[in-house]
Every structure is written in C-alpha cells, then in structure tokens.
C-alpha cells in the first residue's frame, strides 16, 4: 500500500507540473478526448475539483467558487494549495465523504480522508497528462503511478458506475494483461461469458480506461469480440 505521505508528495509534484504548464498554455486549445473542453475548461475543472474534494474531506458543505472569468494561474494555485493544506491537516483515518460510499446506507459507509489522498493525486495525474499533451508536451510519472491509476478504475471507478446504475455490468468478461503487474479482470461480468483480453503497458491501459486513447493504439493488443469491447468503452469505465 502506498502511504498517505507518498500520495501527498505525488499530489504536490503533479500540481506543481500542472501549475507550471499554465502560463505557456493557450486557454483556447482544444482537449479533444474531453469532449468539447478547452484548456481553460480543463484548468477550471481541476481547480473546482480540488476545492470540492477539500470540502468532502472535511465533511462540510462546499462554498461555491465565484463564476468566471478567472485568472487561471491564480485560481489553480489557490485551489491546489487549499486541497494540500486540508489533507495535510486532517487525520488520514478520520471519516470523510468519499466516492466509496455513494449509494450506500450510512451503516455501510467506510470512507476516510485517506481516500482523497489517492483520488486527488490520480485525478491530478490524469489531468496533468491532459494539459501537457493538449499543448504538445508529455507527462509520464512512471509505470508504478500509471499502474495505480489503472487499478483505481478497475477496483473503484468502474464498480461505482455499476452500483449507481450509470452503466450496466459488462456482458463480456474482460481481462487486462498488464506488462508491469498481474492480470486483472473487470468487475461484474457473469461467469462463463465470452472473454476479451487486452494487453499492454500500464500507461496505455490507464489511458484507455480513462478514455484518453483507444484499443487501436500500437502499444495495446486485443483478442476477442472487438465490437463488445467498443460498446463497453463507449459506455465508459469512469464518470
């Protein structure tokens, strides 16, 4: 298990890279894998998510941010610092509102502040990649970080989508053969269903799971029913 301090260190590292990229980014640049978002939309989104997550960790109502337009560098610096200071201040084992508990009765809720250490580090990882790649740059924190990012989709995000009724459980069993780790199965498919196997490095699998690339990327191999896989990915494994 990665320690809370390690996640806070990673969060700061990713936030610093994101913030350092903003001055050189054209706010009107499209981020095509995020629908009709521009770079400006992406920056405001991540700032708002940081602000919202800080309130979730404290279990208090969120004080809405003012409407834009924003000075983007200042907005992100403010919200990223708010999140870091909040998570550093709170006991990681204190109760918090988390995505683990959505749709569950109070007696079954188990979320703690520690959840937000990981969730916000990985949120920032993905969106730093978004910002950098949209600007013609790259961002690669290494295989271990991408493997963790992929694991979060398989173990938390995708099961939550099913639990909340946003998507149906897959009709096809999907196995991911991760170059840097063990093979994993996607949640929810019935036993005995047809199988799809997707193989490749953790970075490519994480980007696929988050809708940032397609199974056609050269780094990935696919065996099984491609049409069923495409339907699954269109429905989305994440919010």
The residues near 4 (Cβ < 8 Å, ≥ 6 apart) are 92, 114, 117
Left if phi > 0, otherwise alpha if psi is -120 to 50, otherwise beta: which for 59?
left
Fold of the 146-235 domain = Nonspecific Lipid-transfer Protein; Chain A (3.30.1050)
Q: What pTM did the predictor assign?
A: 0.95
> Over the range 138-174, which residues count as b (16 or more CB within 10 Å of their CB) and which as e?
ebebebebbbbbbbbbbebbbbbbeeeeeeeebebbb
Could you report the per-residue pLDDT of 68-109, keeping only the tens digit for each? 899 999 999 999 999 999 999 999 999 999 999 988 888 899
pLDDT, position 119: 98
Cα 133 to Cα 42: distance, rounded to the nearest angstrom: 12
| Placement of tokens 């994440």 in the chain | 238
Cα 37 to Cα 165: distance, rounded to the nearest angstrom: 26
pLDDT, position 68: 83
pLDDT tens over the chain, length 239 residues: 466 679 999 999 999 999 999 999 999 999 999 999 999 999 999 999 999 999 999 999 999 998 889 999 999 999 999 999 999 999 999 999 999 998 888 889 999 999 999 999 999 999 999 999 999 999 999 999 999 999 999 999 999 999 999 999 999 999 999 999 999 999 999 988 999 999 999 999 999 999 999 999 999 999 999 999 999 999 999 99
Contact 58, 48 (CB under 8 A): no
Question: Where along the chain do its domains lie?
Answer: 4-141, 146-235
SS3 of residue 162 by DSSP: helix
Fold of the 4-141 domain = 1.20.120
Q: What is the DSSP string of 109-147?
A: ---BHHHHHHHHHHHHHHHHHHHHHHTT------HHHHH
């Amino acid at each position: 298990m990665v320690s809370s301090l390690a996640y806070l260190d990673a969060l700061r590292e990713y936030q610093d890279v994101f913030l350092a990229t903003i001055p050189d980014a054209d706010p009107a640049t499209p981020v095509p894998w995020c629908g009709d978002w521009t770079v400006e939309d992406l920056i405001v989104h991540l700032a708002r998510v940081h602000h919202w997550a800080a309130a979730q960790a404290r279990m208090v109502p969120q004080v809405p941010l003012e409407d834009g337009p924003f000075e983007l560098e200042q907005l992100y610096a403010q919200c990223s610092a708010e999140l870091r200071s909040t998570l550093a201040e709170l006991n990681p084992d204190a109760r918090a509102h988390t995505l683990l508990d959505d749709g569950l009765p109070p007696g079954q809720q188990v979320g703690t502040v520690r959840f937000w250490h990981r969730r916000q580090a990985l949120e920032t990882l993905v969106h730093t990649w978004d910002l950098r790649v949209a600007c013609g740059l790259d961002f690669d924190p290494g295989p271990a970080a991408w493997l963790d990012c992929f694991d979060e989709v398989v173990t938390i995000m995708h099961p939550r989508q099913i639990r909340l009724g946003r998507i149906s459980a897959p009709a096809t069993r999907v196995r991911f053969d991760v170059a840097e780790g063990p093979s994993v199965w996607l949640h929810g498919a019935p036993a005995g269903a047809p199988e799809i196997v997707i193989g490749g490095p953790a970075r490519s699998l994480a980007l696929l799971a988050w809708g940032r690339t397609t199974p056609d990327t050269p780094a990935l191999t696919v065996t099984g029913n491609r049409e069923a896989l495409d339907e699954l990915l269109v429905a989305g494994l994440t919010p």
